[in-house]
């Protein structure tokens, strides 16, 4: 099926079993807390594995002048050492402009060139991890360093306009921004900077690879199985059907596991040569360079308005970096194109290529850092206008998408702001900064809007019922800790009228029907819609076996009832069972309506007048994200994303040594992510919403919405508390002290 028209009423609307929307426990929760859910490194298949360890380059740019692996090869337990001198032949990197950048060939040690610090220069395989790691230290590398560009600030003048991306124009213009801004009664013109961010997943990247009958089986931490399958096939120059990717459990993705990396390629090549399984895990320190990170950005936001607070000019310019050999652009200004009304608009992206590891999607790419700038600029404008920040946003609520000139599928931003204000006690906020004190602590409140684009991607699914009446679902979709196993089980159980315990959910295998995987908050909507279609088709087949019209059939308690007759699913399935396939494709609704999820963030902070220390006291998010499939997992997603927003605002910053191009704070001791001590009361609520323009489930993405705008609410609260307007994230105490007018 495709989405060429609004989704009609369906069994999920009826929700006769009451499974949809309930705060149900995760179906895989017990397995995980008991250690029974095998992650990639823990899988044991194909025989006794050898262990690999990657030797990383210790210069930021240049070449390997000489490498001596003889001592490593003679070390105890060592089976194989690859360098650029003996690594198997692989495809060249790329292509640069591939439609699926995660399916590109990513060769390892294809030549002596060093493109970034941490690049693989050797790979040691031994009987045990300890032996491989010990031998890796014996590899002697002589480098010929070259001058590299590692510092973003020092190289900003080199930034260039990037080509448009496959589904995204990099610049946009409506009306005459320059004239409107020049003649506006009230203006804001501010620059904001955001640093490099690291994904910091709990599970390190790891791979187990083995070959069987000419086919490589790879267990790894991957968000997108089909892309991973193609990446391996393209790199090793073999047919895609000779590659099987399995990723049943993933300990956090956040975009860092959208691609697969050298641990996958090297393990696969070594396993082929040794004719035994090879497993490789990255250390935490290796993950900082060997995998991707979020681009640093420099953003300029210009807003022009009438004295009554009506926006007449909206401009957002952003510069971000990528690896020298890549072309990834963090789409930092996309939310600015749709969030507020205004006749004259301009957004631009500029790309600066540096000699650093690959930058790529990280935790709500685009909106997460773009909103840090836009929503702080809106707060600055509200102050200049002497308007409440919520009132300013309400006055600039658009009737239709101001750039696409199409209606919104649904839009409840104003409701989220007003309900959030009531829940949070926003009326107690003091408009003038530094008016509320508790001893030497200054107390302030801030708010920001939230927005995240909604996506629907093609997805397939297979559903069957066996002679015991057990429903089995197969699709290549992954669960990266978001609750995929649970919400899909709810959908299948509700659609087919069986208890959740009678659903066997099989995910995470590229041999299963193709899905887009997990990422971009499109997973549940896309794979769930493919599942929905398969269930609808299976309902029809079961009704046909009973000789009734499916429209008159009721599916409940493992039975089908129609025309005064009742049959169990087991009876209808018979000895050979019954199976149906499903598929979803985006259609006309994607272009006919602007599809976004919305929300509002509220934060209260305390700032120490003597030290500049910032403490978050409480935080609230109110969101409109279509139908909520599971209130517990959705709330977990929203609050977790809000906590990431706290990290972006107050803590996270990966520091590059501008001389050598490496991340100095390359572990979780030096790279601070929010901990329990940083996070007090964080609450998330969802307003009622069903969006029939998005997909047959009538849902929207949830996972990344909660981070978009969260950090700006904290920045605005810091200003309200003490008068320090910090535009350089993260907001650390030294920056607060330098900007704070009050002592």
Crossing angle of helices 710-722 and 631-646, in 10° steps, is: 50
Tokens of 710: 């969260």
Q: Which of 623, 499, 505, 627 lies closest to 569, judged by CA?
A: 499
Is the CA virtual torsion 204, 205, 210, 215 positive or negative? positive
Write the pLDDT tens digit of every residue in 516-569: 999 999 999 999 999 999 999 999 999 999 999 999 999 999 999 999 999 999
> Which residues in 503-641 belong to E strands, given as ranges?
503-506, 554-556, 559-562, 565-568, 578-584, 596-608, 614-624
Q: What is the DSSP letter of 76?
A: T
Q: Which of 419, 399, 313 lies closest to 594, judged by CA?
A: 399
Tokens of 234: 């393209």
Is the omega angle on the peptide bond into residue 330 within 30 degrees of 0, that is, cis?
Answer: no
Q: Which of 476, 450, 475 lies closest to 463, judged by CA?
A: 475
Q: What is the DSSP letter of 144?
A: E
287 vs 276: CA distance, rounded Å: 26
- Would the CATH topology of 11-37+457-585 be identical to that of 398-452+593-739? yes
Q: How far is CA 326 from CA 298, 329, 369, in A?
A: 19, 9, 21
Beta bridge partners of 82: 123
pLDDT, residue 590, reads 97
Q: Which parts of the chain sit beneath pLDDT 50? A: none
pLDDT, residue 617, reads 98
Tokens of 11: 């069994």
DSSP 427-456: GG--SSTT--EETTEEEEEEEEEEEEE---
Please state whether 108 falls in left (phi above 0), alpha (psi between -120 and 50) or beta.
beta
176 vs 196: CA distance, rounded Å: 33
378 vs 545: CA distance, rounded Å: 60
Q: From the CA atom positions of the chain, what is the Rg in Å? A: 27
Beta bridge partners of 220: 207
pTM: 0.97
Q: Which of 451, 452, 434 lies closest to 443, judged by CA?
A: 434
Give me the CATH code for the 11-37+457-585 domain, please.
Answer: 3.30.365.10
Please, are residues 717 and 726 in contact by the beta-carbon 8 Å criterion?
A: no
Ordered alpha helix ranges (H), 187-251: 225-236
Q: Which residue has the tokens 């790309």?
A: 351
Tokens of 284: 């935490």
Would residue 704 show up in a list of annotated catalytic residues for this protein? yes
pLDDT, residue 742, reads 63
Q: How many residues appear in the chain?
A: 743
Please state whether 295 falls in left (phi above 0), alpha (psi between -120 and 50) or beta.
beta
Domain ranges of the chain: 11-37+457-585, 398-452+593-739
- For 487, the enclosing helix (H) or strand (E) is helix 484-496
281 vs 264: CA distance, rounded Å: 10
Write the pLDDT tens digit of every residue in 156-212: 999 999 998 877 899 999 999 999 999 999 999 999 999 999 999 999 999 999 999
Q: How far is CA 653 from CA 253, 551, 666, in A?
A: 19, 56, 11
- For 268, the enclosing helix (H) or strand (E) is helix 262-274
| Catalytic residue, candidates 330, 403, 604, 704 | 704
Q: Which CATH number fits domain 398-452+593-739: 3.30.365.10, 3.40.50.620, 3.30.1490.190, 3.40.640.10?
A: 3.30.365.10
**Other CB atoms closer than 10 Å to residue 493's CB: what's the count?**
22
Please, are residues 718 and 471 in contact by the beta-carbon 8 Å criterion?
A: no
pLDDT, residue 48, reads 97
Please, are residues 586 and 457 in contact by the beta-carbon 8 Å criterion?
A: yes
257 vs 255: CA distance, rounded Å: 5
Tokens of 652: 């996270």
Give the 3-state secondary structure percentages of the chain, helix then strand then coil, rounded to 5: 30, 25, 45
CA angle 360, 159, 153 (to 5 degrees): 85
Measure CA of the first residue to CA of the last residue in the chain; give whole Å.
Answer: 63
Instruction: Give me the sheet containing 614-624, strands edge to edge.
Output: 437-438, 441-453, 596-608, 614-624, 681-686
**Other CB atoms closer than 10 Å to residue 307's CB: what's the count?**
11
> Which residues in 389-440 belong to E strands, given as ranges?
437-438
């Amino acid at each position: 099926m495709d989405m060429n028209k609004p989704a009609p009423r369906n069994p999920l609307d009826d929700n006769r079993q009451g499974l949809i929307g309930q705060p149900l426990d995760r179906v895989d929760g017990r397995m995980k807390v008991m250690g029974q859910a095998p992650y990639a490194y823990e899988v044991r298949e194909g025989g006794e594995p050898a262990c690999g360890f990657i030797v990383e380059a210790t210069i930021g740019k240049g070449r390997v002048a000489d490498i001596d692996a003889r001592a490593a090869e003679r070390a105890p337990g060592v089976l194989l050492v690859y360098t650029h001198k003996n690594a198997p032949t692989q495809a060249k990197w790329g292509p640069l402009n591939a439609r699926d950048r995660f399916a590109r060939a990513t060769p390892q040690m294809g030549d002596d060139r060093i493109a970034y610090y941490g690049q693989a220069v050797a790979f040691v395989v031994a009987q045990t991890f300890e032996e491989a790691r010990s031998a890796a230290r014996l590899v002697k590398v002589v480098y010929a360093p070259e001058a590299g560009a590692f510092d973003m600030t020092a190289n900003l003048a080199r930034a260039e306009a990037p080509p448009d991306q496959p589904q995204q124009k990099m610049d946009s213009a409506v009306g005459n921004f320059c004239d409107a801004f020049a003649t506006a009664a009230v203006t804001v013109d501010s620059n904001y900077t955001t640093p490099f961010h690291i994904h910091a997943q709990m599970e390190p990247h790891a791979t187990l690879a083995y070959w069987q009958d000419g086919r490589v089986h790879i267990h790894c931490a991957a968000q997108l199985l089909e892309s991973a399958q193609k990446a391996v096939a393209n790199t090793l120059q073999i047919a895609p059907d000779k590659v099987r990717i399995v990723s049943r459990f993933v300990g956090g993705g956040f975009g860092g596991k959208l691609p697969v990396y050298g641990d996958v390629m090297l393990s696969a090549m070594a396993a082929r040569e040794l004719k035994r399984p090879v497993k490789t895990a990255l250390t935490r320190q290796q993950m900082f360079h060997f995998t991707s990170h979020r681009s640093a950005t420099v953003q300029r936001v210009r807003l022009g308005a009438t004295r009554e607070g009506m926006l007449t000019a909206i401009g957002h310019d952003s510069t971000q970096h990528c690896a020298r050999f890549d072309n990834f652009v963090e789409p930092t200004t996309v939310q600015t194109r749709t969030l507020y009304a205004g006749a004259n608009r301009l957004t631009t992206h500029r790309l600066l290529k540096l000699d650093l590891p690959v930058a790529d999607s990280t935790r709500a790419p685009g909106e997460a850092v773009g909103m840090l700038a836009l929503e702080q600029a809106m707060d600055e404008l509200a102050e200049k206008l002497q308007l409440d920040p919520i009132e300013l946003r309400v006055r600039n609520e658009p009737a239709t998408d101001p750039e696409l000139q199409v209606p919104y599928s649904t839009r409840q931003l104003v409701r989220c702001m007003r309900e959030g204000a009531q829940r949070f006690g926003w009326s107690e906020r003091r408009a003038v900064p530094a008016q509320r004190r508790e001893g030497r602590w200054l107390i302030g409140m801030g708010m920001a809007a939230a927005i995240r684009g909604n996506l629907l991607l093609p997805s397939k699914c297979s559903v069957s019922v066996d002679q015991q009446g057990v429903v089995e679902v197969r699709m290549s979709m992954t669960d990266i800790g978001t609750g995929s196993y649970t919400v899909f089980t709810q959908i299948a159980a509700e659609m087919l009228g069986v208890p959740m315990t009678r659903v066997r959910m099989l995910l995470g295998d590229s041999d299963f029907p193709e899905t887009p995987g997990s990422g971009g908050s499109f997973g549940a909507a896309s794979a769930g819609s493919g599942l929905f279609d398969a269930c609808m088709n299976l309902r029809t087949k079961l009704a046909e076996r009973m000789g009734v019209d499916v429209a008159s059939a009721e599916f409940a308690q493992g039975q089908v009832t129609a025309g005064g007759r009742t049959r169990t699913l087991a009876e209808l399935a018979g000895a050979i069972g019954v199976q149906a396939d499903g598929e979803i494709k985006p259609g006309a609704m994607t272009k006919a309506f602007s599809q976004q999820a919305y929300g509002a963030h509220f934060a209260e902070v305390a700032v120490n007048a003597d030290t500049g220390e910032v403490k978050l006291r409480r935080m609230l998010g109110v969101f409109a994200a279509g139908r909520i499939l599971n209130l517990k997992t959705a709330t977990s997603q929203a609050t977790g994303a809000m906590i990431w927003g706290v990290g972006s605002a107050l803590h996270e910053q990966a520091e590059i040594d501008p001389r050598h191009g490496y991340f100095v704070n390359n572990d979780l001791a030096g790279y601070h992510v929010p901990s329990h001590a940083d996070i007090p009361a964080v609450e998330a609520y969802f307003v009622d919403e069903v969006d029939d323009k998005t997909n047959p489930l009538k849902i929207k993405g949830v996972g990344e919405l909660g981070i978009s705008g969260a950090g700006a609410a904290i920045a605005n609260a810091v200003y309200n508390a003490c008068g320090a307007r910090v535009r350089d994230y993260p907001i650390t105490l030294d920056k607060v002290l330098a900007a704070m007018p009050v002592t």
